[in-house]
Amino acid sequence: MSFDLASRLAERRAAQLYRQRPLLDSPQGPQVRVDGRELLAFCSNDYLGLANHPQVIEAWQAGARRWGVGGGASHLVIGHSTPHHELEEALAAFTGRPRALLFSTGYMANLGAVTALLGQGDTVLEDRLNHASLLDAGLLSGARFSRYLHNDAASLAGRLEKAAGNTLVVTDGVFSMDGDLADLPALCAAAKKRDAWVMVDDAHGFGPLGANGGGIAEHFGLGTDEVQVLVGTLGKGFGTAGAFVAGSEELVETLVQFARPYIYTTSQPPALACATLKSLELLRAEGWRREHLNALIQRFRQGATEIGLTLMDSATPIQPILVGDSGRALRLSQLLRERGLLVTAIRPPTVPAGSARLRVTLSAAHSLAQLELLLEALAECWPQLATDDEESGHA
């Protein structure tokens, strides 16, 4: 008996769900070169436009000259360099938490935190639309796993009534495919009544949200008493790479002792931590980036509504256009690409069946003129999609 991989791949192609990697031949930014063509991109998570910032690049280069390239070993052996330590201290101060701990990726941070805190006899309760890394972490923890209705504190409360052992409520801060915010005040209140902890993965909130870019916890004014485990990634609003978990002294020490994805991984390059320190400085100091981004978001929503597009309840840089059918979503993405715009079609299993969409993401690096180009193209392409449907008999 052999693995029938060819059939699996053929089925995915037939269902219009086959994924391919665009080849980027330029730095991140609004104007990119992808698959040999110059395009205006609206699909990056570089929300503040820091991924190709000259000062961040310079900090990385200086860090490499001072500290070398590789981390060399795990943090617990000899891989915990001074830049790592300084970045952890800066992230702790930034989030208003006693401690922060660096991880190599957001996936590892989520997996490490949940599996270190929970085991058999415990309970993990997750939002139905949580990121795959959070769902995988819950399943791998060995705890009793249950999903509550999306952003529904009443549904969570019902599951909390049946929870046993140590109980962890896990939610995204900003949901990556819908762009909406978790109703953290209500979720935290429900958890507190049952003496449960709350873990928030604010991968898409740090940078765009909060008066100082401190994410959803700052946005709602929630501290360690309400959100005991706060996770952030550094490859989105920060523009670099890696992730962190922020919380109490006891939480971070527990992760150092028990989080396997932390213990058994070589540390990130020290120079990367130097770059992130610079991006954190820019993120905090240059409030105009958030102001401009918010102006772009408002203008996009206004323009898209005028065109007649179906948007989702999002006040964040993630602005999905709901299409429904995977084939139609791919077609709309292709029509835009023919006009020089890159907007990715998101299809199942990343999103629920029947909810394929174009995931527009905005960046502080986009100009208002570039946004108007997107809106003009959508105004042309959306009616064309309906015409194509009629001609193909799918109206």
Active-site positions?
176, 204, 236
Residue whose entry in the numeric block shows the structure tokens 């690409």: 337
Length of the chain: 395
Q: Is 233 annotated as a binding residue?
A: yes
Q: Is 353 exposed, middle or buried (0-12, 13-18, 19+ CB in 10 A)?
A: exposed
From residue 154, alpha-carbon distances to 61, 183, 226 in Å are 50, 11, 18
- Report yes or no: 127 and 151 within 8 Å, Cβ to Cβ: yes
Nearest-angstrom CA–CA distance, 383 and 279: 41
Strand ordering across the sheet containing 37-41:
31-34, 37-41, 341-342
Q: Is 131 annotated as a binding residue?
A: yes
**What does 171-237 look like in DSSP terms, one character per residue?**
EESB-TTT-PBP-HHHHHHHHHHTT-EEEEE-TTTBTTBSTTS-HHHHHHT--TTT-SEEEEESSST
From residue 103, alpha-carbon distances to 184, 246, 250, 260, 268 in Å are 24, 11, 17, 11, 8
Tokens of 17: 């769900």
Q: Is 99 annotated as a binding residue?
A: no
Q: Is 107 annotated as a binding residue?
A: yes
Q: Is 204 annotated as a binding residue?
A: yes
Q: Is 262 annotated as a binding residue?
A: no
Q: Is 148 annotated as a binding residue?
A: no
- Report yes or no: 248 and 255 within 8 Å, Cβ to Cβ: no
Q: Is 176 annotated as a binding residue?
A: yes
Binding positions are 19, 106-107, 131, 176, 204, 233, 350
Binding positions for pyridoxal 5'-phosphate are 106-107, 176, 204, 233
